[in-house]
Amino acid sequence: MLNVSAMMFCIVLFNVNPLPFFVTSLVGHAVIAGYAVREPHLSTLIAAWMETRRKTVNLRPAKGNKYVA
């Protein structure tokens, strides 16, 4: 997300070519894919992290995210 925001900012203010931003995004994805080949549980770690950040809807008011089915 930061890369896209920086790209839009630079394009609007400085009339910069967006190609370097796409290249850095591809490099970042390649690094993650390369690490995932070495670490087979990376997808599980990312999925667990995303699950903890998910907003829940509670029937009763409570502080924080509660994992209630």
User: Minimal CA–CA distance to 16: which of 25, 27, 8?
Assistant: 8
H or E, element range at 53: helix 42-53
Read off the pTM: 0.51
Give the separation between CA 43 and CA 13, rounded to whole angstroms. 37
Q: What's the pLDDT at 27?
A: 93
- The whole-number average pLDDT for the span 47-52 is 85
Give the model's pLDDT for residue 61. 67
pLDDT of residue 51: 85
What pLDDT does residue 41 have? 84
Token pair in block for residue 28: 């970042």
